[in-house]
Structure 1
Amino acid sequence: MTARNVLTTKFNTLGFDGVWRDAVGEPELTGSWIIYGDTKNGKTTFAMMLSKYLTAFGRVAYNSVEEGNSRTIQMAVDRAGLLEAGARWMLLDRESKDELCERLRRQRSADIVFIDSVQFMDLKFSEYKDLKRRFPTKLFVYISHVDGRRPSTPTALRILRDANVAFRIEGFKAFPTSRYGGGRPVVIWDKGADEYWGPEVNGKTKS
């Protein structure tokens, strides 16, 4: 391909705006993203917030492998206001890898798939690559536990290195790294972020 061919290639990009464009830029509806962080720092809440925003660009399936259809997931769905997403968002209750693949082969299946979590799905990196190969027009968003400040399993760490977008969650803020630009953190919960970082660090000044 010539440089002109490369520069005139059309990609299925998502017209993000506001805080999401500042965080991620203008990403593609393909490939993989990862969200990783310690427990009780806002990871699930952020994943739900992101999944709601992405319903503006396609149908979203959230595979809650770890918690299933539980009270904690119900609370996170409520906090994110996902009722507004209607039929464009659905929760999958602990679907296995095979069940998920069977679902994604159907017509009008989800365009965007959240897998929560890499560890509870017991995903191998070869299976991760196979999902990308078999469903090249879908976007996969993986949620991972951490060991220190990095994803806690070899598979999750390799997904981090391969992902086009990564969000590190700490103190109710999401710190993005994106191949599409952006880079500005997203505040998940103002009060929690203020208490963790301090109002000044969290971009505020005391009155």
Structure 2
Amino acid sequence: MNGTTTDTARTFARNAKGVREVLSMKFETLSFEGAWYDAFGTPERKGVWFIWGNSGNGKTSFVMQLCKELARFGRVAYNSMEEGACLTMQNTLRRFGMDEVNRRFLLLDNESMEELSLRIKRQKSPDFIVIDSFQYTQMTYRQYIAFKERHRNKLLIFISHATGTLPTGRSAKSVMFDAALKIYVEGYRAISKGRFIGPVGHFDIWPERAQEYWGRKEKQQ
């Protein structure tokens, strides 16, 4: 048996797993508590999450709260491709007290996907990567898959614009379907539509506004 054949056999052996082997595997998870657990349960700490919603519904506020929560479990890099380091971003960081997680939160000022990929490959790079927004990356679905495969040991969180109740653009829709955790934001509420759903299934970004919005919507139905 030559070297190539041996390598191929090893690859097949590594990729194929029996049911008992899979059931005995241990996965690293995020031990969410309180409202976070109620909404999203205990998700895996790597993979792809996808967050989308229309402007004015609390999406930015939710993402910042999520970053602060994730900073409890590791380091977060937020690639602000739309706003970058500007006054609006400064006000957002101040409003959510992000200085409390200063050493675990890194704001990237409109870093290209190529630069971001190099950063993630470094030793001791951030554990959680937030990319805002998917539309600004101008990635095709094929490019997204390649990026995801290069960084399988990280949690990649893509933020997306919405058209109606769906992400804007064909590639964004495909990424949404691929993501392990899909979070749709409407009426100051982040709703889990993915594979990780807690006992409540949603997170109220601004509880008073959310109750007002959804209460009004229920009456209209």
Equivalent residue number for residue 209 of structure 2: 192
| CA distance in structure 1 between the aligned counterparts of 2:90 and 2:210, rounded to whole angstroms | 22
| CA distance in structure 1 between the aligned counterparts of 2:211 and 2:31, rounded to whole angstroms | 30
Cα separation, partners in 2 of 1:195 and 1:74, compared to 1, 3 Å:
farther
Whether contact under 8 Å (1:45, 1:79) holds in the other structure is no
Equivalent residue number for residue 56 of structure 2: 40
Equivalent residue number for residue 204 of structure 1: none
Secondary structure of 1:11 counterpart: coil
Whether contact under 8 Å (2:30, 2:44) holds in the other structure is yes
- Aligned pairs for 1:44-193 (under 5 A) are 44-182=60-198, 184-193=201-210
Secondary structure of 1:32 counterpart: strand
What is the CA-CA distance between 1:92 and the residue it aligns to? 0.3
| CA distance in structure 2 between the aligned counterparts of 1:7 and 1:197, rounded to whole angstroms | 40
What is the CA-CA distance between 1:56 and the residue it aligns to? 1.1
Secondary structure of 2:146 counterpart: helix
What is the CA-CA distance between 1:12 and the residue it aligns to? 1.2
Equivalent residue number for residue 6 of structure 1: 22
What is the CA-CA distance between 1:6 and the residue it aligns to? 1.4
Whether contact under 8 Å (2:141, 2:171) holds in the other structure is yes
TM-score of the two chains, using structure 1 as the length reference: 0.91
Gaps of 5+ in 2: 1-16
Gaps of 5+ in 1: 202-207
Whether contact under 8 Å (1:25, 1:178) holds in the other structure is no
What is the CA-CA distance between 1:81 and the residue it aligns to? 1.8
TM-score of the two chains, using structure 2 as the length reference: 0.86
Superposed CA deviations along residues 115-155 of structure 1, whole A, max 9, x for unmatched, are 00001121221221112211111000010001111001111
| Cα RMSD, aligned residues only | 1.7
Equivalent residue number for residue 13 of structure 2: none
| CA distance in structure 2 between the aligned counterparts of 1:156 and 1:196, rounded to whole angstroms | 27
| CA distance in structure 2 between the aligned counterparts of 1:77 and 1:50, rounded to whole angstroms | 12
**Amino acid in the other structure paired with 2:202:** P
Aligned length: 201
| CA distance in structure 1 between the aligned counterparts of 2:157 and 2:197, rounded to whole angstroms | 18
**Amino acid in the other structure paired with 1:186:** F
| CA distance in structure 2 between the aligned counterparts of 1:168 and 1:127, rounded to whole angstroms | 23
What is the CA-CA distance between 1:15 and the residue it aligns to? 1.1
Equivalent residue number for residue 26 of structure 1: 42
What is the CA-CA distance between 1:49 and the residue it aligns to? 0.5
Q: Between the two proteins, what is the percent identity of the paired residues?
A: 43
| CA distance in structure 1 between the aligned counterparts of 2:208 and 2:94, rounded to whole angstroms | 18
Secondary structure of 1:123 counterpart: coil
Which protein is bigger by CA-based radius of gyration? 2
